[in-house]
């Protein structure tokens, strides 16, 4: 199991958030990827889409189940990772790197979990 990275923020729905200025990169955690199993399909919002915090913005299907990608913050999608749409296995292989999902331009960063808080939540 990959430990939560200290420089990222997390949600209780198992998304991670990396902030660079007013752009947040969002993905699912290694914990979530492991629980899903082998990811076989990813559906993401299109660039330009307005998203609201806490709403479902994508779908992640695996051989075991279907999961949802929740928006950890409100804003506008500026990029969707076409690589994970084309190669869903990237979510399992590199959830904190090449397996990222979307980039969002936001105006306000909500309260998110620290790595320690997320680790306590998952028991990892």
Average pLDDT of the segment spanning 7-27: 96
Looking at the predicted structure, is the pLDDT value of residue 1 above 70?
no
Question: For the purposes of burial, counting CB atoms within 10 Å of the CB of 84, is it exposed (0-12), middle (13-18) or buried (19 or more)?
Answer: buried
Lowest mean pLDDT among 3-17, 58-72, 104-118: 3-17
Say how far apart CA 58 and CA 54 lie, in whole Å.
12
The DSSP code sequence of the chain is: -PPPPTTSEE-TTSEEEEEETTEEEEEE-HHHHHHH-SEEEEE-PPTT-EE-TTSEEEEEEESS-EEEEEPSS-EEEEEE-HHHHH-TTHHHH-TTTTT--EEEE-S-PPP-B-HHHHHHHHT-
pLDDT tens figures, 70-87: 999 999 999 999 999 999
* Average pLDDT, rounded, for the chain: 94
Average pLDDT of the segment spanning 22-48: 96
Residue 76, strand partner residues: 50, 105
Domains in the chain and their CATH numbers?
9-108 (2.40.50.100)
């Amino acid at each position: 199991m990959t430990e939560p990275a200290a420089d990222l923020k997390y949600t209780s729905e198992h998304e991670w958030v990396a902030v660079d200025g007013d752009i947040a990169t969002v993905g699912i955690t290694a914990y979530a990827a492991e629980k899903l199993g082998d990811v076989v399909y990813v559906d993401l919002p299109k660039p330009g889409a307005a998203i609201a915090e806490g709403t479902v913005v994508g779908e992640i299907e695996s051989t075991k189940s279907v999961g949802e990608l929740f928006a950890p913050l409100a804003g506008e999608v500026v990029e969707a990772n076409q690589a994970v749409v084309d190669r869903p296995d990237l979510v399992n292989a590199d959830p904190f790197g090449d397996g990222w999902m979307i980039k969002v331009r936001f105006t306000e960063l909500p309260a998110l979990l620290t790595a320690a808080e997320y680790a306590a939540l998952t028991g990892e």
